[in-house]
């Protein structure tokens, strides 16, 4: 580039600069141009920022899902073991009464009641066998009983029903203050000094056990509605 060309460019720049406002107007124009440039830059960059944030959120969701699936997968061996144990217990008949019919199942339920009542010194005032009924794939065997006993013995008596096999449910439980001379302290009956009289209660409740319902001979795979 020769000296004449350089001189022409400098002269043109000087003429253009002469048209730019000076002072406050010049500063305002410079600020406006700067703000416009920033706005343009923001409008161009904002979509990319939003896309980045969306991708980050998606990745976080995917990581959380993977962690959840891995946690479920880690539980599979435990769940399989629990299922195998439950299946083994069911096959051994420990969850249901073993009677071949309603009468035998009711006798087994009564036998369990008398055994636990004797263990915990609970007096059986009365017991009544309820009519059996079908409940889904099972026969519901019920026994309505009236009991008298000391409160602490009664609590242990009920707790044993929560852990007994076959499973027996306690339903329609009613408790009232009661008294029975056979449960009083011997020293109290003889007139001597005795410890504070224990709380004696009377209770009525329903014991419920289940046995598998027989299959209907004319409809294989379906439960029979006829009691047996």
Collapse the DSSP code of 99 into the 3-class scheme (helix H, G, I; strand E, B; otherwise coil) and give the result.
coil
| Euclidean distance between CA atoms 86 and 37, whole angstroms | 72
- What was the pLDDT predicted at 29? 66
Residue 102: how many other CB atoms lie within 10 Å: 19
- What was the pLDDT predicted at 217? 47
- What was the pLDDT predicted at 204? 94
pTM of the model: 0.50
Task: List, for the chain, all residue ranges whose pLDDT scores fall below the cut of 50.
Answer: 17, 187-189, 217-226
- What was the pLDDT predicted at 10? 56
- What was the pLDDT predicted at 72? 79
**Strand 123-129 to 200-212 pairing:** unpaired
- What was the pLDDT predicted at 79? 81
First CA to last CA across the chain, in angstroms?
117
- What was the pLDDT predicted at 120? 92
| Euclidean distance between CA atoms 124 and 182, whole angstroms | 13
- What was the pLDDT predicted at 209? 92
Is residue 116 within 8 Å of 154, Cβ to Cβ?
A: no
Residue 201: how many other CB atoms lie within 10 Å: 18
Q: How far is CA 135 from the centre of its chain?
A: 24
What pLDDT, in 10s, does the model give residues 80-135?
887 777 666 555 556 788 888 999 999 999 999 999 999 999 999 999 999 999 98
């Amino acid at each position: 580039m020769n000296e004449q060309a350089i001189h022409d460019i400098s002269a043109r720049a000087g003429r253009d600069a002469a048209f730019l406002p000076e002072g406050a107007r010049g500063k305002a124009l410079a600020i406006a141009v700067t703000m416009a440039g920033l706005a343009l830059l923001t409008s161009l960059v904002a979509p990319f920022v939003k896309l980045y944030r969306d991708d980050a959120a998606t990745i976080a969701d995917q990581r959380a899902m993977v962690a959840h699936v891995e946690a479920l997968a880690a539980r599979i061996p435990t769940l399989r073991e629990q299922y195998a144990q439950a299946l083994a217990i069911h096959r051994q008949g420990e969850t249901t009464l073993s009677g071949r019919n309603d009468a035998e199942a009711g006798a087994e339920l009564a036998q369990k009641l008398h055994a636990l009542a004797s263990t915990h010194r609970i007096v059986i005032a009365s017991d009544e066998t309820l009519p059996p009924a079908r409940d889904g794939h099972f026969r519901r065997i019920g026994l309505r009983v009236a009991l008298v006993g000391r409160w602490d013995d009664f609590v242990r008596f009920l707790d044993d029903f929560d852990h007994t096999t076959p499973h027996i449910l306690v339903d329609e439980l009613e408790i009232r203050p009661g008294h029975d001379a056979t449960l009083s302290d011997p020293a109290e009956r003889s007139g001597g000094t005795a410890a504070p009289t224990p709380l004696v209660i009377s209770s009525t409740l329903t014991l419920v056990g289940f046995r598998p319902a027989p299959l209907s001979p004319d409809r294989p795979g379906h439960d029979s509605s006829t009691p047996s």
